[in-house]
């Protein structure tokens, strides 16, 4: 497979990148941003939504830097996984970064790219020939969904590992575009639709992830389901965070990934935990409520029913880690 | 020459040796097919069918032909493109390109050659094929019914049946009547594929004089040579096959393939060399992987654990072509004749065509699926009768120098040693049925041919009424540099056969491997060897190499005699010298002996060959599964099952494999580890999924081959039964070690959580459903007879 032709631009500053975007917008030319390339270029090889221009963000100094308050969008996943500061302050985030894909991919992929990772589907992440043979899908060339016949919205799955953890940490993202910059809380960033995906405008660049100081008070855990312990995207993922007073939950957050088109907080489920003791009875109750609300589609490796059920197991294990009340019986699949 | 099989005083054999091509591989200097650079080389691309079953109404190539940089376009109407070929002469049903009908999504319809990949891809995409859809047959059960349009036009009864095999020995029903217990069930196998590292790649090139050179990633250059001659309608001597380094085959590069023919057709039309290098998706669509199978089995057992009979029925999904399928249909039955004594046996196998990518040979060909069924049922019987799984297998083990009811000749067997050593190493008696809920241990045994005694082509048949050409021939050349060149067509596909040949030549000549160079890549230079399939290379090419070296040694002994006045027979070769055994002070250096031997004759040449003995009975199908020797295995797997998720983690595998003498122990260990890894994939994760006949996961992200992180600790136990006919006592080690790991894991899962799975892959979903059915905490009880 070869990359289709596109014009590659390599600006050396954020301002220069935005200038390029202004030009494309003015001329009505299509473009994409490129960071690690592990997501975008794989899709390009399949001739998925290829644009005329590609703007590399690789060398923008404004997108670098790791601290307790902010992580540059261009930071590589392995650097986040190995950062002492992140390890000490937000171990669940370090772990989630360490669990992404494989070592090779983590050496190229970035946190910004992980948050903006394209949604995935058996009917979409295929070669051009495959899609022609299969009459394509809503997210690529066709106007119908192959997962849910008759569906006019896309149900492709968002499979990022970092988003649920950052959602539980109350993080926001900074978006910089031709019209200036804005901060959007991650909780208001994603859209649960496989094509729209998020509120970022095409012309905006996600420049950094901002972490509020209150995140330091939260105990966070992340659990994911996947067949292999490397390479695989999550087939389901749950982050759980709590502010505790003793074993009593003062506040808590639950976020899921890989069971819908977005990483999402589940405030209705988390609400049930306020003021309660963090322990197995509560975990079972929340797990049941979460499972009841989930609706994964048949477009990843494991069957939807299994993924739905595993959400409960993942939540109970994440809560157990935060509460220290029951060691997970096994790390084998739901690690 | 004394029979050195009985000695242990080897200098080369039995010692760990780095593969002779290892440095080239690790430095990147080695050339694989894609690395060849030839002036004017074009890129070829295949246009693949988007339909599972359809008549081709029209192929419009006009837009492609009009594109700048396009040098050739071929369709099924090109001369040769419709010539039927196939690896088995009895089942030739493939063509280079579809002539009037496509038979699966991915079938080759047309092809282009262009200056570069971008142009070739664009040109291939511009070719418009008009189809008239036909009803596809995707379910093998329906393939046995009459079809509106059968896949093969020659179908005698209008169904998609390809091959039927029915065999019976003794009286199975009567044996079952008299048995203490009979157990059986239906076992189901998802399609799995080889997933070798290097995708198929071929270069076809017509030399200025019109001779065709084909460079291809192949396991069997000779069969490609024959098929290429038929398709291109050229005599074999006008074709040269080159087999460069190959990045794994596992059976997936052992057929002559349409893309190889297409490259030659394109090269002929373009008048320029053409390369076709597959994407991973092409590899999945070419497939030839293990047959998806439904396997019904019953086994009877006497109260003392003796197996009374085995009754099996296989429905084998062949996909669109025949490939090795006739052999597969036999092997699914006949290879169940080992490693145990089966006094009464009945087998009925049906291989059918379906509108899917063809199935073919894959590591452990024909034995793997049956083994899962048999070893699982044996454990069930042990449980019913209160017997220990190890004791029962040991009791039933085929004896050395015995004959099975279907007249397989068993010579060496190390099965009992395999069982004893895995039992001890795995601490079986402390663990079986005794570990906490969720942890389990299980046993599985295996049996495999060490080369098929029956050649595919009658030219190589040992019977005087056929060709009697040896199945392996090796030439040894020794010139004034006193280096030894070994010529053979045995294909090193990464398994280390070049190194094996070097060892088998170096040992009799008493020289280090550094004096030996192996040339196996070129049909112009190499005498015919039937290639790397059926686990035949060590046994057959190894014997041929040893025989060639002994023939060369005789010339050196005569030279040494001339130089010393001692009798030629008194010289042995050791330490780069020919030494008089009667007086070790009398010795001639290897170099001096070579020089003397060349006097008046020039460079020395010697030939060695191997032909299987005539074996087996005279009933129909008696030849299937015959081998000059067999390998044996006993594996134990230990697992942890997560009862909440159903996920299974294999922590350890103790893998005892009887390979006769281990010529190169570290390579044997590598083969065992690779087999275990590959078997675990079929056991737990690998599954080619289909959507209306279209492969859904034709990539290595969605087709789940285990990573190094998922791979358990593998404790290789090399058992050396020392075969009476193998080279230095060696037999196969590349394939037999795959099958046992699947039932070992299944039996371990049962031990862990009481769930008996009868289909692979054994996914977390299936295990969880099983746990729900039998109840959490349902750990099986220790059999009464197993207490020690």
| CATH code for position B494 | 3.30.365.10
Q: Best of B647, B697, B753 to disrupt the A interface by mutation (most A CBs within 10 Å)?
A: B647
**CATH second-level architecture of A1-60?**
2-Layer Sandwich (3.30)
- The side-by-side arrangement of strands in the sheet containing B42-48 is B70-75, B108-114, B42-48, B274-277, B201-206, B212-216, B239-242
Secondary structure (3-state) at B491: coil
DSSP tag of A156: P
Both tokens assigned to A299: 């477009």
Name the maximum alpha-carbon separation found in chain B.
Answer: 84
Going by C-beta distance under 8 Å and a sequence separation of 6 or more, which residues neighbour residue B417?
A: B656, B658, B719, B721
pLDDT at B3: 52
State how far residue B702 is from chain A, nearest Cα, in angstroms: 7
Would you list the DSSP string of A50-93? --SEEEE-TT-GGG--B-SSEEETT-BHHHHHH-HHHHHH-HHH
Instruction: Please give the Cα distance from B340 to B374 (Å, whole number).
Output: 11
Q: Which residues of B touch A129 (CB under 8 A)?
A: 48, 50, 125, 281
Kind of pairing between the strands at A264-265 and B42-48: unpaired
DSSP tag of B166: E
Q: How many CB atoms lie within 10 A of CB B236?
A: 14
CB within 8 Å: B105 and A306 = no
Contact A162, A155 (CB under 8 A): no
Instruction: Please give the Cα distance from A334 to A235 (Å, whole number).
Output: 10
Helix (H) or strand (E) run with residue B719 in it = strand B713-719
Contact B10, B72 (CB under 8 A): no
Q: B118 — contact with chain A (CB < 8 Å)?
A: yes
pLDDT at A325: 85
Instruction: Give which of A4, A11, A52, A57 is closest to A34, Cα–Cα.
Output: A57
Q: What is the pLDDT along chain A (335 residues), one digit of tens a residue?
A: 899 999 999 999 999 999 999 999 999 999 999 999 999 999 999 999 999 999 999 989 999 999 999 999 999 999 999 999 999 999 999 999 999 999 999 999 999 999 999 999 999 999 999 999 998 999 999 989 999 988 889 999 999 999 999 999 999 999 999 999 999 999 999 999 999 999 999 999 999 999 999 999 999 999 999 999 999 999 999 999 999 999 999 999 999 999 999 999 999 999 999 999 999 999 999 999 999 999 999 999 999 999 999 999 999 999 999 999 864 443 333 33
Would you say the C-alpha torsion B218, B221, B223, B229 has a positive or negative sign? Answer: positive
Both tokens assigned to B677: 């890894």
Q: B765 — contact with chain A (CB < 8 Å)?
A: yes
**How large is the C-alpha radius of gyration of chain A?**
20
In a domain, B530, yes or no: yes
Q: Best of A159, A332, A334, A335 to disrupt the B interface by mutation (most B CBs within 10 Å)?
A: A332
Per-residue burial over B127-156, b = 16 or more CB atoms within 10 Å of its CB, e = otherwise: bebebeebebbbebeebbeebebbbbeebe
DSSP tag of B188: E
In a domain, B482, yes or no: yes
Both tokens assigned to B671: 């083969």
Instruction: Give which of B669, B656, B641 is closest to B746, Cα–Cα.
Output: B641
Q: Best of B131, B693, B702 to disrupt the A interface by mutation (most A CBs within 10 Å)?
A: B702
Q: B585 — contact with chain A (CB < 8 Å)?
A: no
Secondary structure (3-state) at B596: helix
Contact A133, A116 (CB under 8 A): no
Q: How many CB atoms lie within 10 A of CB B396?
A: 18
Helix pair angle (B389-396, B415-425), 10° resolution = 170
In a domain, B538, yes or no: yes
Instruction: Please give the Cα distance from B366 to B208 (Å, whole number).
Output: 44
In a domain, B381, yes or no: no
Q: Pick out chain B residues at pLDDT < 70.
A: 1-8, 783-788
Q: Best of B642, B650, B697, B712 to disrupt the A interface by mutation (most A CBs within 10 Å)?
A: B642
pLDDT at B153: 79
Of the candidates B640, B697, B768, the beta carbon closest to that of A330 is on B640
As annotated, the residues of chain A forming the CATH 3.30.465.10 domain(s) are: 64-116+157-323
pLDDT at B6: 53
State how far residue A227 is from chain B, nearest Cα, in angstroms: 8
Instruction: List the Cα angle A284/A286/A289 in 5-degree steps.
Output: 110
Instruction: Provide the domain count of chain B.
Output: 1
Both tokens assigned to B209: 């004089």
In a domain, B543, yes or no: yes
Q: How many CB atoms lie within 10 A of CB A3?
A: 13
Q: How many residues are listed for chain A in this entry? A: 335
Instruction: Please give the Cα distance from B442 to B434 (Å, whole number).
Output: 12
Domain that holds residue B550: 4-30+455-610
Q: B459 — contact with chain A (CB < 8 Å)?
A: no
As annotated, the residues of chain A forming the CATH 3.30.43.10 domain(s) are: 1-60
pLDDT, tens digit, for every residue of B321-340? 999 999 999 999 999 999 99
Burial-class residue B68 by CB neighbours within 10 Å (0-12, 13-18, 19+): exposed
Nearest CA in chain B to A147: B691
Nearest CA in chain B to A305: B765
Q: Number of A:B CB contacts under 8 A? A: 93
Domain A64-116+157-323 of CATH type 1.10.1040.10: no
CB within 8 Å: B105 and A133 = yes
Cα B538 to the chain's mean position, in Å? 13
CB within 8 Å: A128 and B647 = no
Instruction: Please give the Cα distance from B757 to B679 (Å, whole number).
Output: 16
- The answer for B 692-721 residues in CB contact with A (under 8 A) is 694, 696-698, 701-702, 704, 706-710
């Amino acid at each position: 497979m070869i990359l289709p032709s596109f014009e590659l631009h390599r600006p050396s500053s954020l301002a220069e990148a935005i200038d390029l975007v202004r030009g494309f917008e003015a001329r009505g030319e299509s473009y994409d941003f490129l960071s690690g390339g592990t997501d975008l270029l794989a899709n390009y090889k399949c001739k998925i939504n290829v644009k005329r221009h590609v703007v590399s963000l690789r060398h923008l100094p404004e997108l670098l830097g790791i601290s307790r308050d902010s992580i540059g969008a261009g930071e590589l996943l392995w650097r986040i996984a190995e950062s002492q500061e992140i390890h000490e302050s937000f171990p669940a985030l370090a772990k989630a970064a360490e669990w992404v894909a494989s070592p090779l991919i983590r050496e190229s992929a970035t946190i910004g790219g992980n948050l903006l990772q394209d949604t995935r589907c058996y009917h979409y992440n295929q070669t051009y020939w495959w899609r022609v043979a299969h009459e394509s899908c809503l997210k690529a060339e066709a106007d119908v969904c192959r997962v849910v016949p008759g569906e006019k919205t896309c149900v492709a799955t968002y499979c990022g590992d970092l988003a649920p953890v950052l959602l539980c940490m109350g993080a926001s993202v900074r978006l910089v575009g031709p019209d200036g910059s804005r901060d959007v809380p991650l909780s208001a960033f994603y859209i649960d639709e496989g094509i729209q995906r998020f509120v970022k405008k095409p012309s905006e660049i996600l420049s950094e992830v901002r972490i509020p100081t209150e995140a330091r008070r939260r105990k966070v855990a992340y659990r994911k389901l996947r067949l292999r312990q490397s390479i695989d995207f999550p087939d389901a993922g749950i982050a759980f965070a709590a502010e505790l007073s003793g074993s009593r939950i003062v506040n808590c957050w639950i976020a899921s990934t890989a069971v819908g088109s977005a990483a999402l907080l589940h405030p209705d489920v988390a609400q049930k935990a306020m003021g309660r003791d963090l322990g197995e009875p509560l975990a079972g109750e929340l797990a049941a409520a979460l499972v009841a609300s989930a609706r994964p589609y048949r477009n990843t490796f494991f069957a939807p029913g299994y993924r739905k059920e595993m959400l409960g197991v993942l939540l109970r294990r994440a809560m157990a880690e935060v509460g220290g009340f029951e060691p997970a019986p096994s790390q084998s699949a739901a690690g | 020459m004394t029979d050195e099989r009985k000695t242990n005083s080897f200098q080369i054999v039995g010692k760990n040796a780095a593969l002779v091509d290892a440095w080239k591989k690790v430095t990147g200097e080695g050339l694989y097919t894609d690395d060849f650079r030839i002036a004017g080389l074009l890129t070829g691309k295949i246009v693949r069918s988007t339909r599972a079953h359809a008549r081709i109404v029209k192929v419009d190539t006009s837009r492609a032909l009009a594109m700048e940089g396009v040098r050739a376009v071929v369709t099924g109407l090109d001369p040769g493109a419709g010539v039927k070929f196939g690896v088995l002469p009895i089942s030739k049903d493939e063509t280079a390109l579809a002539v009037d009908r496509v038979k699966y999504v991915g079938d080759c319809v047309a092809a282009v050659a262009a200056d570069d990949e971008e142009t070739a891809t664009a040109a291939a995409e511009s070719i418009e094929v008009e189809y008239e859809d036909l009803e596809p047959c995707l379910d093998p059960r329906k393939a046995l019914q009459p079809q509106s349009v059968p896949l093969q036009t020659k179908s005698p009864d209008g169904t998609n049946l390809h091959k039927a095999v029915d065999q019976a020995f003794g009286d199975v029903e009567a044996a079952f009547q008299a048995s203490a217990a009979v157990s059986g069930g239906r076992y189901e196998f998802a399609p799995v594929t080889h997933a070798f590292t290097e995708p198929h790649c071929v270069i076809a090139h017509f030399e200025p004089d019109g001779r065709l050179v084909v460079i291809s990633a192949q396991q069997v250059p000779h069969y490609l040579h024959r098929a290429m001659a038929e398709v291109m309608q050229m005599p074999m001597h006008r074709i040269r096959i080159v087999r460069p380094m190959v990045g794994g085959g596992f059976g997936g590069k052992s057929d002559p393939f349409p893309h190889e023919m297409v490259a030659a057709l394109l090269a002929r039309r373009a008048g320029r060399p053409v390369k076709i290098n597959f994407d991973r998706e092409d590899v999945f669509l070419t497939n030839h992987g293990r047959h998806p199978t439904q396997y019904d089995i019953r086994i009877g057992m006497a109260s003392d654990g003796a197996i009374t009979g085995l009754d099996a029925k296989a429905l084998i999904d062949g996909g669109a072509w025949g490939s090795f399928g006739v052999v597969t249909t036999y092997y699914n039955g006949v290879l169940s004749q080992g490693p145990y004594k089966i006094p009464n046996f009945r087998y009925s196998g049906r291989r059918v065509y379906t509108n899917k990518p063809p199935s073919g040979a894959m590591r452990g060909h024909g034995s793997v699926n049956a083994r899962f069924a048999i070893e699982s049922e044996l454990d069930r019987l042990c449980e019913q009768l209160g017997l220990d799984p190890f004791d029962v297998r040991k009791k039933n083990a085929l004896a050395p120098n015995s004959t099975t009811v279907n007249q397989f000749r068993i010579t060496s067997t190390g099965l009992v040693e395999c069982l004893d050593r895995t039992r001890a190493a795995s601490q079986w008696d402390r663990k079986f049925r005794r570990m906490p809920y969720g942890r389990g241990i299980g046993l599985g045994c295996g049996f495999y041919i060490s080369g098929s005694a029956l050649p595919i082509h009658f030219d190589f048949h040992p019977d005087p009424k056929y060709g009697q050409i040896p199945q392996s021939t090796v030439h040894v050349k020794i010139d004034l540099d006193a280096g030894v060149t070994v010529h053979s067509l045995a294909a090193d596909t990464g398994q280390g056969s070049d190194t094996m040949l070097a060892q088998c030549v170096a040992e009799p000549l008493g020289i280090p491997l550094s004096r030996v160079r192996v040339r196996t890549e070129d049909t112009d230079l190499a005498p015919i060897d039937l290639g790397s399939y059926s686990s035949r290379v060590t046994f057959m090419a190894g014997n041929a190499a040893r025989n060639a070296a002994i023939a060369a040694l005789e010339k050196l002994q005569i030279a040494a005699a001339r130089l010393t006045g001692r009798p030629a027979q008194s010289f042995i070769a050791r330490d780069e010298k020919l030494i008089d055994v009667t007086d070790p002070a009398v010795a001639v250096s290897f170099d001096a002996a070579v020089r003397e031997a060349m006097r008046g004759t020039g460079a020395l040449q010697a030939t060695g060959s191997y032909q299987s003995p005539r074996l087996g009975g005279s009933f129909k199908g008696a030849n299937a599964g015959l081998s000059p020797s067999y390998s044996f295995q006993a594996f134990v797997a230990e697992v942890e099952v997560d009862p909440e998720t159903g996920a299974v983690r294999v922590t350890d595998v103790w893998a005892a494999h009887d390979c006769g003498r281990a010529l190169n122990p570290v390579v044997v260990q590598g083969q065992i580890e690779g087999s275990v890894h590959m078997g675990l994939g079929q056991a737990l994760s690998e599954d080619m999924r289909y959507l209306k006949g279209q492969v859904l996961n034709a990539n290595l992200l969605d087709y789940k081959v285990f990573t190094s992180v998922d791979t358990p600790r593998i404790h290789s136990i090399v058992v050396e039964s020392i075969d009476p006919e193998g080279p230095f006592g060696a037999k196969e080690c590349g394939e037999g070690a795959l099958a046992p790991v699947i039932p070992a894991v299944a039996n371990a899962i049962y031990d862990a959580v009481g769930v008996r799975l009868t289909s692979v892959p054994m996914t977390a979903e299936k295990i969880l459903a099983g746990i729900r059915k039998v109840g959490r905490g349902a750990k099986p009880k220790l059999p009464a007879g197993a207490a020690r």
